[in-house]
Chains A and B, each alone.
Chain A
Amino acid sequence: MLSLFFLILYIPAVMSSSSQMAGILPQDPALPIGSTLTATCSVSPDLGLHASSLFWSLNGRRLPSSSYSVLSPTALSVTLPGLPASRQRSGDNLVCHNHGGHVLAGSCLYIGMPPVKPVNLTCWSRNTKDLTCRWAPGGQGETFIKTKYTLKYKLRWYGRERECEELNAAQPYSCYIPRDLALFTPYEIWVEATNQLGSATSDVITLDILDVVTTDPPSGVSVSRVGDLEDHLSIRWESPPALKDFLFQAKYQIRYRLEDISDWKVMDDVGNQTSCRLAGLRPGTVYFVQVRCNPVGIYGSRRAGIWSEWSHPTAASTPHSERVLSGSCDSKSGDSNSTLRRELKQFFGWVRNHAYGCGGMSIKLYDQWRVWMQKSHKTRNQVLQGDKS
């Protein structure tokens, strides 16, 4: 009884020198999913424990004794068939306990898959100075065990193989090469994935830095009204400063949208100007505008580059229509029927000019306006036909 008491006191201290008191083999193995593992817990005879009094647990759950096998008075094994993938990256905890539940020894299992060939390797250079590459892990994307991805590159016709060192913890499948890149000569680039169960290499891509150049978005984007024109906005920007020393042609793209609508309208044919005018816009409305740049023909390369990010959205509003008086005959703002609104604006404008104010507002006045509109239409059409002849 007394010896049992001492044992209970002694056992928690076992871990301090567990390598001598008890141990599990294999220690920290890496295995493919579905494997069968047989592990053995060996206890020192000094502990005075018999193997049949021990039990196993995996990730906190006790394993059935039917899977145990007493190899000797101081060694108990367990067989684990069809192991599933590891629950956490730090490994599954396979633990050997004494009958009281105290931990005698542990081994961490790494159950996963060898890496699949990485795919979709793409690279781009910012202003010809650096190279960023990104890839995807291939297969289902998860190996369940720690897998190292190394981006390698070399000049195609000469030079030694080099490794990209600047991995990004926030973006695990990307790497950054900050300097010392040659131009006008192709690179071969690929990704190697390695873990304890195997390795795989992506397809090699070949590129010249000058063919994958992108740049910063245009700077100084400003949007302003064009005098009183209620359906125009003028956009100005500056070419990205980083490329001012390079021989290139930039082409630009503009996109704009109404404040409360998420769909953008894109203007493709902006060419290499640094200003543009938008027309046919809605009066009295806020628009968001963005511009982006593509460096075309860097150092004589004929290819287009890669579009930059869009500039920060710049907002501006078109002027309200001048014909609407404020405070007298304005229709309610927020009227959703835009045709009616436009007609009303025209009516109020006519009233102001022809009926000297809104004092005698009546349906008769509205009818008079309608008649006037028809007459003036006819006159306008006749004038046009006259012009054509």
Chain B
Amino acid sequence: MSGHVKNMCPQLTISQAARTLLSLLLVAAIDSVSAAVVCRKQPCGSSLQRSLKLTKLIHKESVDLLKTYKVSQGDMSELFCQMSINNVPDPNISGLDPSERMLSIYSHCKAFLPHLKRVTEQQTDLQPPSSSLLSKLSTAHNRTNGLANQINCIYQTLFPNLPIPPEPVDGPTSVPPSQNVFQQKVYGCVVLKRFKEFLSRVTRELRTLKSQVCTRRTTFADTNALF
């Protein structure tokens, strides 16, 4: 390879070619890393504390989001939100031990994202451009994505030997196909109502996890230090 380079471009030295190759490899490496979640090892308590704070923020905003949503759909929207629709994630966190429950939080966060996105798209057509609903929906989507990444990191740190299942295929197959406007109004309300309830459960869950998992680890580390 280097000999060939020499023949073709006599002025291009080997070091220059190597440098170019190295930069290309470096760019490729950075690109691949940024595609995955980059986790920095943090103390257990402070990571979970941060996620708890973020969850509380998203939950508080979700209360206002649901209120804003209902107002912009017109009267009668209270009834809409009580209807049951298939394929919208349920707000319950499942699992028996901390790792399962943390994984459940993570996958639920990911599951809500395409639905939030779909509601945003639908409401973009239904609301005037100045409506605050659209920006609130967008914020909820971004923050939930951030929370999912944080939980992912904490999970990898706490349970390094447990694999995270590949991202749930929550693509277009699980958001409803095209709906008439009334169905869209109902769908949006059900999504946001369940989203709000989910976040309330996550808040409680993270508090429990923090006391369960971080205390246990501290005890384990102390025990180790004795030997």
Contact = CB atoms under 8 A, between A and B. Distances in A.
Interface of A: 12-16, 18, 24, 27-28, 57, 59-61, 87-93, 95, 101, 103, 105-108, 146, 169-170, 172
Given A90-B127, A90-B181, A172-B129, A106 B74 contact: no
B182 interface: yes
B76 to A, nearest CB: 4
Interface in B51-104: 72-77, 79-80, 82-86
Nearest to A94: B182
15 contacts: A13-B84, A16-B84, A27-B180, A28-B180, A88-B72, A88-B73, A93-B75, A93-B182, A105-B182, A106-B185, A108-B180, A146-B125, A170-B130, A172-B128, A172-B129
B182 A90 contact: no
B18 to A, nearest CB: 42
B183 interface: yes
B76 A93 contact: yes
Contacts of B129: 169, 172
Given A28-B181, A90-B126, A91-B181, A103 B73 contact: no
A92 B74 contact: yes
A326 to B, nearest CB: 56
Interface residues of B, number: 27
A88 B128 CA distance: 9
Contacts of A16: 84-86
Contacts of B128: 89, 146, 172
B182 to A, nearest CB: 3
B186 interface: yes
B75 A60 contact: yes
Nearest to A15: B83
A169 B180 CA distance: 26
Given A59-B74, A92-B74, A172-B129, A103 B83 contact: yes
B73 A90 contact: yes
Contact of B185 (A93, A105, A146, A169): A93
Contacts of A60: 74-76
A363 B180 CA distance: 93
A10 to B, nearest CB: 11
Contacts of B182: 24, 27-28, 93, 95, 105-108
A61 B75 CA distance: 8
Contacts of A92: 74
Given A103-B80, A108-B181, A169-B129, A59 B85 contact: no
B128 to A, nearest CB: 5
Given A90-B74, A93-B75, A15 B183 contact: yes
B82 A12 contact: yes
Contacts of A101: 79
A88 B83 contact: no
A16 B179 CA distance: 11
A178 B73 CA distance: 36
Nearest to A169: B129
Nearest to B78: A60
Interface string B166-201: 000000000000001111011000000000000000
Given A12-B82, A88-B74, A92-B74, A106 B186 contact: yes
A150 B150 CA distance: 43
